[in-house]
Amino acid sequence: MPIKHLEEYRDPAIARKIVEQITFAGQKPIRLMEVCGTHTMSIFKHGIRGLLPETISLLSGQGCPVCVTAQNEINSFIRLSRFDDVIITTFGDLIKVPGADSSLEKERADGRDIRIVYSTFDALKVAQKNPLKKVVFLGVGFETTAPTIAASIRSAVEMKLDNYFVFCAHKLLPPALAFLMEAKGTKIDGFILPGHVSVIIGIKAYLPFFEHYQTPCVIAGFEPVDILQAVNMLVVQIKTNQPKLSNAYQRAVTFNGNQKAQNIMNDVFETTDARWRGIGTIPQSGLKIRDEFAICDASKMFEINMTASSDPKGCACGEILTGQKIPTDCLLYRKACTPETPIGPCMVSSEGTCAAFYRYHPM
């Protein structure tokens, strides 16, 4: 059913028709995972879980960039903020994430120069206005934000701006999908693939994963009808045993993706093994700054101890990110861990699963 007008993406009549189709899913349990934090928030906000048959479970995966940032990376961000000649620039979600002994929010309260920016080019302006300071941007995110951060590095080099640095902690989504399929204790029958990431990398980036695992996959937008449409497509694939890599977000996602953004990203970054919170190291699932741009690489320009660090005791973020638990299974949830006193990043981030549960899920 083609959707041509903006208001139709939230049309209750269209949503009801799709739900009616989904209810014929049968009695076999179906476990679907959305791997995008924006999907998670939209699912809770619009009550989509409550519309689906009890046989269909929606799991929230590794799509929150702050949530998957490793503890040792958070600790390194905090150590960087303690350098007297450093200004930290960051997106707001990182501010409250607790490290081993502090957080960026606490460091700022203690007088460290930590500034929330809305784009990497705001960070570049901070560097231009403060030539005697070293300005470090904390590069956290997936393929969605990586191109703009790469562009800021290239711009800094072109401008001969020698006081702008990036601490690169970027993660790549397709390798994480493969990890989920191999992880013990994780059973996933189909994936709702992210819209924002897919706009950049295109459908083709998922082909190796799909061809290897033959798991039903649908790229979806973020409105209620978008998500219900994706669920229905996945249910049909699973019922008929005809897995496909489908695109239900055709108004934004193409087969090849945004080639210009990919070129900028590949020009500045190269792939590397990366550590994910609560999961461990996933081969070739991260990005690092190429040697040609090493002058902007904070991990090379500052002496930072990147020793391994364990996650907070009792925190179940790792199991939640892999679909093995839901927030209410965590002993800390709504007790020691709340949005006011977060312990794990899934409660800190605006796209975190625990934050979504806390805000929208009944007690």
What are the pLDDT digits (tens) for 164-206? Answer: 999 999 999 999 999 999 887 778 999 999 999 999 999 999 9
User: Which has more pLDDT, 136 or 5?
Assistant: 136
pLDDT at 1 over 50: no
Query: What are 92-114's pLDDT values in tens digits?
Result: 989 988 888 899 999 999 999 99
Q: Which of 13-22, 131-140, 276-285 has the highest mean pLDDT?
A: 131-140
Q: What amino acid is encoded at 207 in this protein?
A: L
Per-residue pLDDT at 196: 95
Q: What is the mean pLDDT of residues 128-147?
A: 96
Looking up tokens 């994910």 gives 276
pLDDT at 4 over 60: no
pLDDT at 2 over 60: no
Q: What is the mean pLDDT of residues 261-281?
A: 93
**How many whole angstroms separate alpha carbon 235 and alpha carbon 229?**
10
User: Which has more pLDDT, 109 or 311?
Assistant: 109
Q: Per-residue b/e over 64-98, b at no fewer than 16 CB within 10 Å? A: bbbbbbbbbbbbbbbbbbebeebbbbbbebbbbbb
| Strand intervals (E) in 164-232 | 164-168, 190-193, 217-219
Average pLDDT of every residue of the chain: 91
Q: What is the mean pLDDT of residues 149-153?
A: 97
**How many whole angstroms separate alpha carbon 169 and alpha carbon 68?**
10
Query: What are 328-360's pLDDT values in tens digits?
Result: 999 999 999 998 888 888 898 878 899 988 988
Q: What is the mean pLDDT of residues 26-43?
A: 90
What pTM was computed for the model? 0.90
Considering Cα of 260, then 266, then 192, then 196, what sign does the dihedral take?
negative
Q: What would the two tokens of residue 338 be?
A: 């709340």
pLDDT at 7 over 80: no
User: Which has more pLDDT, 298 or 62?
Assistant: 298
pLDDT at 311 over 80: no
Confirm if 63 and 196 have CB atoms less than 8 A apart.
Answer: no
Per-residue pLDDT at 115: 97
Query: What are 239-267's pLDDT values in tens digits?
Result: 999 999 999 999 999 999 999 999 999 99
Per-residue pLDDT band at 306 (split at 50, 70, 90): low
User: What domains are there in the chain, each with its CATH number?
Assistant: 66-172+257-301 (3.40.50.11740)
